[in-house]
A and B are shown apart, each in its own frame.
Chain A
């Protein structure tokens, strides 16, 4: 099978998920916003259902479709904790993540989302470069 078929199929499903949520409930499928709103916001019900669905979808992939489970990251826990903390602070401050800005915002042709996407992709690339070439952490 063509190696790009699964990523492409997965991407189309992500797009359809976002479009369905917009079409049915008028909401943006931004995961950082949904996750935070599930804990803090008004209208928690649909957010919890979305998160439940997220886990169900993953379970279908690995248990019914039989797609292999990815191996665990070999990064030390302190690095993972730093990563999570930065992702948490950054996504709330910047108003979105890969899904909210990247998938939904770009689809809405939002200039803010385009800028945010360019910045976080750029910083992600730079961070991996620094980790690998300066800190000597091999991928």
Chain B
């Protein structure tokens, strides 16, 4: 499989995260702070992104295969289970504690902040832990 298109996708994603304000934890926390001094910016980030994917995803999936790979690799799970709900609960709490989710956390490594490094190391530790527990 060719992999260079992933570099382009990553660049667009990195541009999107940083231009939109997602890599600013204060802005993200301000957005989640709906009962306080609410910062509405991220509605436009999510809105802009989801409108694009809602409109274009069905068109892409009409094709029999991706441009440079043999098949679409999409999640096959359909049922709602405890892992989905429990995982989303834990992730939501973690997100609300710092204002970092995985993408903004990783791109913020660029800034050389101690907090970002600690976040990313802890995140990978959590992923590793989960892979051990769930086996």
Chain A residues with CB under 8 Å of chain B are 3-4, 6-29, 31-32, 35-36, 39-40, 43, 45-47, 49-62, 65, 67, 69-73, 75, 77, 79-95, 97-99, 101-112, 115-117, 119-129, 131-133, 139
Q: Are A119 and B92 closer than 8 Å at their CB atoms?
A: yes
Count of chain A to chain B residue pairs whose CB atoms are closer than 8 Å in the complex: 483
Q: Are A80 and B77 closer than 8 Å at their CB atoms?
A: no
Partner of B18, one of A58, A75, A80: A58
The number of chain B residues touching the other chain, given as a range, is 35 or more
CA–CA, A130 and B113, complex, Å = 26
Q: Are A86 and B32 closer than 8 Å at their CB atoms?
A: no
Q: Are B50 and A90 closer than 8 Å at their CB atoms?
A: no
Residues of A within 8 A of B109 (CB): 55
0/1 interface trace, chain B 1-15, chain A, CB 8 Å (1 if under): 111111111111111
- 5 more CB-based (< 8 A) A-B contacts, given A51-B10, A54-B11: A23-B67, A56-B14, A80-B119, A87-B94, A107-B54
Q: Indicate whether A94 sits within 8 Å of B88 (C-beta atoms), given known contacts A15-B48, A57-B15, A115-B80.
A: yes
CA–CA, A126 and B75, complex, Å = 29
Q: Are B127 and A91 closer than 8 Å at their CB atoms?
A: yes
